[in-house]
Amino acid sequence: MKTPIALAMAVMVLLPACLRAAPAKPALEVVVLGSGGPRSFGRAGSSAIVMVAGVPRILVDAGPGAFLRIGELGLDLEKVDTVLLTHLHIDHSGDLAAFFNDRALTSDGPITYRIFGPDGAGLFPKTSRFVDLLVGKDGAFAYQKTFGVRETFVVRDLAIRLDSARTKIVDEDGLVVEEIATHHGDCPSVAYRISYKGVSVVFSGDMDASALPNLVQLAKNADLLIFNCAVLDPPASPSQLYDLHTPPGKIGEAARASEVKSLLLSHLAPDVESQEAAVRKSIRASYAGPVAFASDKLRVPVGK
């Protein structure tokens, strides 16, 4: 009498190789391109590629160094047409033009990008104007459109008031992207949730603690929450940084309140990196799920 496992193995041996199931690709996988922030200390600026069913499809932020990491990883950009910008600080957007150029030079046919990012306020242009300033008719890199294949940029500026409703911005063949406004000092900012085949990942972007209710709502029951962790708990970081970033203790509380299944900390500052044990302890005070620290080129399958 064979056990079910032995029987299954016997069947596998009898099946021709072409009929054996290939290892399943995760429904969603995050490839961290940049896990650092504005200062240069060896990590690229904030950026990630989201693979959908094994195919790179979505670029989340494009901090300086993303271009280099894309090349190092040999990522095929052919299907990366969706760009989600959490905000327009340089450490999240400095490589956007380089990404457009790379994508255009390695493509066979015309490209239609759909780009999402915050509306403008104060010193910050709305995202559609930002893209125009880069590659529009009168933009700094207007030549770029003549360089590779034909490119169309469809840009949507997202609401930035904290009382704006959570909004679905992509719903296509089972792939869903939702967003909600957050708060990052004077810089308009949003967070994103990407879902496919029953799993979800949420990108907090940079945000201060005033936007946590929105983030918790967006992240409810997500498989993975990627939270940018750029400060230590007060008073260990310069006080003005708490108007821009959420400290570890509050990140732990948000992870617990949203009941996310796992937490990945990214956008790591040198002092956060060097005090990993204290950061983990602070988060652990509220959140019992798995916590990991990001590194450039880290690949994280989402859920299951």
Contact region for Zn ion (CB under 5 A) — 20-28, 29-37, 248-256, 280-288?
29-37
Instruction: List, as one string, the DSSP characters of 138-194.
Output: TSTTGGGGGTSS-EEEEEEEEP-STTSPPEEEEEETTEEEEEEE--BTTB--EEEEE
Determine, following the binding rule CB under 5 A, whether residue 34 of this chain makes contact with Zn ion. Answer: no
Q: How far is CA 141 from CA 24, 64, 296, in A?
A: 41, 17, 28
Determine, following the binding rule CB under 5 A, whether residue 91 of this chain makes contact with Zn ion. Answer: yes
Distance between CA atoms of 35 and 247, rounded to whole angstroms?
17
Name the residue nearer to Zn ion (CB basis): 228 or 258: 228
**Closest to 287 in 3D by CA, of 245, 247, 259, 246:** 259
Q: Is 225 helix (H, G, I), strand (E, B) or coil?
A: strand
Among 102, 151, 206, 233, the residue binding Zn ion under the rule CB under 5 A is 206
Name the residue nearer to Zn ion (CB basis): 95 or 206: 206
Distance between CA atoms of 131 and 129, rounded to whole angstroms?
5
Contact region for Zn ion (CB under 5 A) — 87-95, 175-183, 185-193, 272-280?
87-95
Name the residue nearer to Zn ion (CB basis): 81 or 91: 91
Determine, following the binding rule CB under 5 A, whether residue 273 of this chain makes contact with Zn ion. Answer: no
Residue 37 Cβ, how far from Zn ion at the closest point, in Å? Answer: 5
Among 34, 36, 37, 94, the residue binding Zn ion under the rule CB under 5 A is 37
Contact region for Zn ion (CB under 5 A) — 37-45, 107-115, 238-246, 279-287?
37-45
Whether the Cβ atoms of residue 153 and residue 135 lie closer than 8 Å to each other: yes
Distance between CA atoms of 197 and 183, rounded to whole angstroms?
30
Name the residue nearer to Zn ion (CB basis): 37 or 118: 37
Peptide bond into 234 cis (omega under 30): no
Determine, following the binding rule CB under 5 A, whether residue 157 of this chain makes contact with Zn ion. Answer: no
Contact region for Zn ion (CB under 5 A) — 30-38, 116-124, 235-243, 247-255?
30-38
Binding site for Zn ion (CB under 5 A): 37, 91, 206
